[in-house]
Structure 1
Amino acid sequence: MRGNIKILLIADSIQLRSSTQKILTDSDCEVLIAESSSDAFLELKLSKPDLLFWGISMRNSNIYSAYLALQKDFGAHIPIIIITSLLNLNAPGKIENTLNENYITYPFSAKALLDKINNTLSKGEYAKLTVPTKNFKSRKLRSITSLKDLLYYFRTEAEEIDIVKNKPVYKEQKHANYVYLVESGLVKIHRMDEYGKQLITGLYKPKEFFGFYSFKEISSYPETATCLTTSKLLRISNSKFQELLSQSSNLSLELAQLLSDKLSQLKNHLLEMAYGSVLKKTSNTILQFAENIENKPHQSIKICRNDLANVAGISTESLIRSLSFLKKERLIDINGRDIKILNYHKLQLVR
Structure 2
Amino acid sequence: MKTLLLIEDHELIRENTAELLELAGYRVLTAENGKLGLEHALRTRPDLVLCDIMMPVLDGYGVLQVFNQHPQLAGIPFIFLTAKTERADLRRGMALGADDYLTKPFDSTELLSAVAGRLSRFQHLRPDYDLAHGGLPEFLADARRVSNLPDLAAEHRPHAVPRRQLLYAEGDEPTRLYFVEAGRVKTSKTTAAGKELITGFYQTGEFFGYQALLERGPYHDTAVAVEASTLRYIPAEEFHDLLLRNAEVSQQFIRLLAGRERAREQQLVELAYHSLRRRVADTLLRLHEPAGGPIQLTREDLAAVIGTAPESLSRTLSEFRQAGLLELSASGILLLQPEGLRRANW
Shift of 1:331: 1.3
Question: What one-letter code is carried by the residue in structure 2 that aligns with 1:138?
Answer: M
Question: What one-letter code is carried by the residue in structure 1 that aligns with 2:259?
Answer: D
Aligned length: 214
The superposition leaves residues 82-124 of structure 1 with CA deviations (integer Å, 9 ceiling, x where unpaired) of xxxxxxxxxxxxxxxxxxxxxxxxxxxxxxxxxxxxxxxxxxx
1:182 aligns with 2:180: yes
1:339 aligned partner: 333
Point out the structure with max Rg over C-alpha. 2
> SS at 1:235's partner residue?
strand
C-alpha distance 214-249 of structure 1, shift in aligned 2 (>3 A): farther
CA distance in 1, matches of 2:177, 2:324: 42
What TM-score comes out, normalization by structure 2 length? 0.54
Shift of 1:266: 1.0
Question: What one-letter code is carried by the residue in structure 2 that aligns with 1:213?
Answer: Q
What TM-score comes out, normalization by structure 1 length? 0.53
1:307 aligned partner: 301
The superposition leaves residues 210-246 of structure 1 with CA deviations (integer Å, 9 ceiling, x where unpaired) of 2212456521112221101122322132122212322
Shift of 1:195: 4.9
Shift of 1:197: 4.3
> SS at 1:181's partner residue?
strand
CA distance in 1, matches of 2:287, 2:215: 34
1:248 aligned partner: 246
CA distance in 1, matches of 2:189, 2:340: 32
C-alpha distance 193-287 of structure 1, shift in aligned 2 (>3 A): farther
Question: What one-letter code is carried by the residue in structure 2 that aligns with 1:335?
Answer: S
Shift of 1:176: 1.5
CA distance in 1, matches of 2:187, 2:205: 16
CA distance in 1, matches of 2:92, 2:176: 30
C-alpha distance 268-160 of structure 1, shift in aligned 2 (>3 A): closer
The superposition leaves residues 258-311 of structure 1 with CA deviations (integer Å, 9 ceiling, x where unpaired) of 333322221221122233222122212211211243xx3xx3223221221121
Indicate if the aligned counterparts of 2:177 and 2:213 stay in contact, CA closer than 8 A: no
Indicate if the aligned counterparts of 2:207 and 2:260 stay in contact, CA closer than 8 A: no
C-alpha distance 265-184 of structure 1, shift in aligned 2 (>3 A): closer
> SS at 1:302's partner residue?
coil
1:213 aligns with 2:207: no
- 2:94 aligned to 128, 138, 159, which one? 138
Indicate if the aligned counterparts of 1:167 and 1:226 stay in contact, CA closer than 8 A: yes
* Structure 2: 5+ residue stretches without partners: 1-89, 100-121, 130-135, 145-151
C-alpha distance 331-253 of structure 1, shift in aligned 2 (>3 A): same
> SS at 1:162's partner residue?
strand
Indicate if the aligned counterparts of 1:186 and 1:292 stay in contact, CA closer than 8 A: no
1:236 aligned partner: 234
Shift of 1:167: 1.9
CA distance in 2, matches of 1:203, 1:312: 11
1:329 aligned partner: 323
Question: What one-letter code is carried by the residue in structure 1 that aligns with 2:252?
Answer: E
CA distance in 2, matches of 1:206, 1:213: 19
> SS at 2:94's partner residue?
coil
Indicate if the aligned counterparts of 1:305 and 1:319 stay in contact, CA closer than 8 A: yes
1:15 aligned partner: none
| Correspondence list, 1:107-122, <5 A | none
% identical equivalent positions: 28
Indicate if the aligned counterparts of 1:172 and 1:224 stay in contact, CA closer than 8 A: yes
| Correspondence list, 1:21-60, <5 A | none
* Structure 1: 5+ residue stretches without partners: 1-133
C-alpha distance 285-278 of structure 1, shift in aligned 2 (>3 A): same
> SS at 1:273's partner residue?
helix
Cα RMSD, aligned residues only:
3.2
1:261 aligned partner: 259
